[in-house]
Structure 1
Amino acid sequence: MSVEKKVKKAKRGNEKAFQELIQDEKNKLFRMAYLYVKNEDDALDIVQDTIYKAFISIKQLKNHQYFSTWISRILINVALDFIKKNKRTIPFNDVDGFHRDRNLRTEEKLDLLEAIERLEVQYKTVIILRYYKDLSIKQIAEILKCPEGTVKTRLHRAINQLKSDLKEECV
């Protein structure tokens, strides 16, 4: 059954269809939450809150094909609220966190993740969505509810800051 059909059924109150949708997304949601809080228990709490909020507001989803984007946005908001509430920093020490850097040595991965850790939240979020979730600029703009130009600017600034930080570490 397609995602759109599952969403339509879930919007009509079919709990099994909603469970199937969550089953398809749960691993992505957990990995994304873990990148924000770097703690398995906290990440599970965030995913649980995200699923609950999605369940009670599924009827508000307008475009069925954007379910993944919609639930990712909920997760980002829940994770940022969790961080604000607990006043935690966002550590990025997970070497396996980014799949695009498989050819890098372990030291380079750690340097990159430490540099990402130092980014402001708005820049960190676009980096995670672009390079971890492989989302397009348009999809990121929809998730963050901001213009595509803003996403491009944040991504450009984040990359430049990462380049600068990594050059300083090499010298």
Structure 2
Amino acid sequence: MANGEWFAQLYQKSYRSLVLTAYALLRDMGEAEDVTQEAFAVAYGRRARVARAESPEAWLRTVVVNLSRRRWRRRATLDRIMRKEAEEPAPEVFGEHLDLHAAIRRLGDEYQAAVVLHYLADLPVDEVASILDIPVGTVKSRLSRARTALAAQLRTEEVQDA
């Protein structure tokens, strides 16, 4: 396989999942895409190391999580200084599942991250636990509570729309 071909395949295979990981932490699609691009730029600069990694996607995910956390801390600090809340992502970002994404955004931060990483980024529970740095049982509990809350929210919206 050509030198750049494996990297292009890694990008194709991993991009969406990594954006969702960043989105789970940042709750801003534009920033999530920026962080993911930055992670791929870092990986490209260190492609020899990434190529030797047991799981290049896991290596990238670690970079995405670290960059997202750094960006979130910077944004939180700036928001405190400016005394204004961070903006919600534009509804058009979510397309056909607008109601579901709106309901997910109404969950608490800890529940949002678990739901996005597990159900949207399709990561196993143990990997979600590793990314969020919490026990597997806590992830399972948050997912269960989030499902209950989402079901209630979506049922209420369905009744209101009828």
Alpha-carbon contact 1:92-1:114 (below 8 Å) kept: no
Partner amino acid, structure 2, of 1:123: Y
Given the alignment of the two structures, is residue 158 of structure 1 paired with residue 152 of structure 2, yes or no? no
* Higher RCO (CA 8 Å, separation ≥ 6 residues): 2
Alignment CA distance shift 1:19-1:147 (3 Å): same
CA distance in 1, matches of 2:102, 2:90: 6
Instruction: Return the match for 2:101 from 113, 119, 127.
Output: 113
- Would you say 1:37 and 2:22 are equivalent positions? no
Distance 1:156 1:112 in 2: 16
Bigger helix share: 2
Deviation at 1:114, TM superposition (A): 0.9
Q: CA deviation at 1:151?
A: 0.8
| 1:123 to 2:123 alignment | no
RMSD: 3.6
Q: 5+ residue gaps in structure 2?
A: 77-85
Superposition misfits of 4+ residues, deviation over 6 angstroms: none
Does structure 1 residue 50 correspond to structure 2 residue 49?
Answer: no
Quote the residue 2:54 is aligned against: 64
Task: Name the % identity.
Answer: 28
- In structure 1, stretches of 5+ residues that fail to align are 2-14, 97-105
Change (3 A) 1:25 1:122: same
3-state SS in 2 of match to 1:159:
helix
Normalized against structure 1, the TM-score is what? 0.62
Normalising by structure 2, report the TM-score.
Answer: 0.65
Instruction: Give the C-alpha shift of residue 86 in structure 1.
Output: 2.5
